[in-house]
Amino acid sequence: MEKKKLLGMTLTDLQLAVKSLGMPGFTAKQIAQWIYGKRVRSIDQMTNLSAKNREILAASFEIGATEPVDSMHSVDGTIKYLFHTSDKQYIESVYIPDDDRATLCVSSQVGCKMGCKFCMTGRQGFHGHLTVTDILNQIYSLPESEKLTNVVFMGQGEPFDNLDNVLKATEILTADYGWAWSPKRITVSSVGLKKGLERFLNESQCHLAISLHCPVPQERAALMPAEKAFSIRDVVSLLREYDWSHQRRLSFEYIVFGGLNDSLAYGKELVKLLKGLECRINLIRFHQIPDSDLKNTEPEQMVKLRDYLTQHGIFTTIRASRGEDIYAACGLLSTAKQQSEQNGNTEAGYK
């Protein structure tokens, strides 16, 4: 019988588990401290549990942490890690050091259902939701885990399509019994799925990033099929119902495509769409993917767009690209290359 994973269990989960094993209720907090506080790799290391209780626990449970199976290092210091999931598939995470900050871009699904035209993960298709264990293992087993200052759910998958597990993971990251992080250290990105967006806004205090990419609904739909189900105008209308003036940050991600959405006419549409909303825009350079007719814009055009938006009251930044040489930059994550290696194609993926 496969053992259950302790990594990914909330305090309530642990309390139910120890109760089912006939162990004292306070044992749940001790286990949580060993996992989330001390990050042990084995139940045998939980030395304030009696030998008998460790034996009972180990008969049905394991920590559930697994080391990365491979990594790729960029010239700019970015590191892309490959992890096995609980069901033996693959996901990628990206570690991005930057002076006194260190950010981990985590995945929430194997592949993605959203089918965005500019994204390699979308091309991979959807192959499953990550468990809470899979999500947290990307942090738990990261060699640089102790250096992390921020986590962004901007890797493979649509977080709001796996919201139960994402919310559970962020609860453990922020709870006193868990990692006790401030929610301000965590950003969750989404294309704007209505049901998930409403739940996230009501149940989490983490920062929110919306994948915008085009302010014109019909044109956004051509890039992002999710627009047809819940329009960006409806997304913004919903966001206006919440208070963004304190603590929590709202940002919009905007990949700038040459000759498509990079003119000041689109800047005007962005100002019209977001006027009066407390938010920021992150302009992102498009990273070319195979067999795509989308093109990158000129750096000067990005600066013009940034300056226009800033002059019209929207705080706007140009995000620095990181890890492009190892396919770790925005929109490039895909484990299809690694999977092809498993099928005998040794020229693809990690080496």
Residues with a catalytic annotation lie at: 92, 330
β partners of residue 315: 280
Identify residue 342 by its one-letter amino acid code. Q
Residue 190, CA atoms < 13 Å, CB-side half-sphere: 26
β partners of residue 282: 253, 317
- What Cα–Cα distance (Å) separates residue 161 from each residue in 90, 124, 129, 165, 313? 18, 16, 8, 10, 32
Q: Which residues contact 9 (CB under 8 A, 6 or more apart)?
A: 17, 132
Q: Closest by alpha carbon to 319, among 93, 117, 96? A: 96
Separation CA 107–CA 95 (nearest Å): 12
Q: Where are the beta strands (DSSP E) in the chain?
A: 4-5, 61-62, 70-73, 79-84, 90-98, 101-105, 109-111, 126-129, 150-153, 186-190, 207-211, 250-256, 280-285, 315-319
Q: Which residues contact 79 (CB under 8 A, 6 or more apart)?
A: 71, 72, 73, 94, 95, 144, 323, 328
- What Cα–Cα distance (Å) separates residue 344 from each residue in 125, 337, 348? 21, 11, 9
Is the backbone of residue 128 left (phi > 0), alpha (psi -120 to 50) or beta?
A: left
Cβ–Cβ under 8 Å, residues 189 and 226: no
Residue 83, CA atoms < 13 Å, CB-side half-sphere: 31
User: Which residue has tokens 């399509």?
Assistant: 161
Residues 264-292 as b/e (b if ≥16 CB within 10 A, e otherwise) read eebbebbbebbeeebbbbbbbbbbebeee
